[in-house]
Amino acid sequence: MRQERTVKAGVILLAAFPLITGVLALVAPSVFYEQIGRYGPENLHYVGDSGAFIAAFGAVLAVTVWRPSWRVPLLSLGAAWYALHALNHLFDTGEARSQARGIADCAALAMGAALHAGLARMQARS
């Protein structure tokens, strides 16, 4: 029972981040670009498209609070997505506002991958 509460709480936290940032990228792509995704030249249409996917992932991950059978596949997808995203940021750390910001973004994404994978593992064991 305690493990179920831990997984649910983790899912809620992990779902909130892409849901909020995805909606921001979708409805205010210039704000998202300036504050979060300032890598390479500005392309607000692409930022909005990415936001649509990111928000959809966050929303569907949130649904797993009530649909536990969806958790392992979606958390595994999140782990793969965040890991590949971190790898992409590793190659582009010099494109960030600063080298420190590029490294921090890469580390945060790698941590997101680890959290998704850890929760998927916890859910699979229960």
pLDDT band at 47 (very low <50, low <70, confident <90, very high): very high
97-119, pLDDT tens digit by residue? 888 988 999 999 999 999 999 99
Each residue of 25-43: b (16+ CB within 10 Å) or e?
A: bbebbeebbeeebebeeee
Does position 41 have pLDDT exceeding 90, yes or no?
no
Q: How many residues does the chain have?
A: 126
Confidence (pLDDT) at 37: 82
CA pair distance 16, 36, nearest whole angstrom: 16
CA separation, residue 75 to residues 16, 47, 80, 91 (Å): 13, 23, 9, 24
Range in 34-38, 58-62, 67-71, 85-89 with the lowest mean pLDDT:
34-38
56: phi then psi, degrees, rounded to nearest 5: -65, -45
- The answer to whether the beta carbons of residues 95 and 102 sit under 8 Å apart is yes
Mean pLDDT of 30-43: 87
pTM: 0.91
> Percentage of residues in the chain with pLDDT exceeding 90?
80
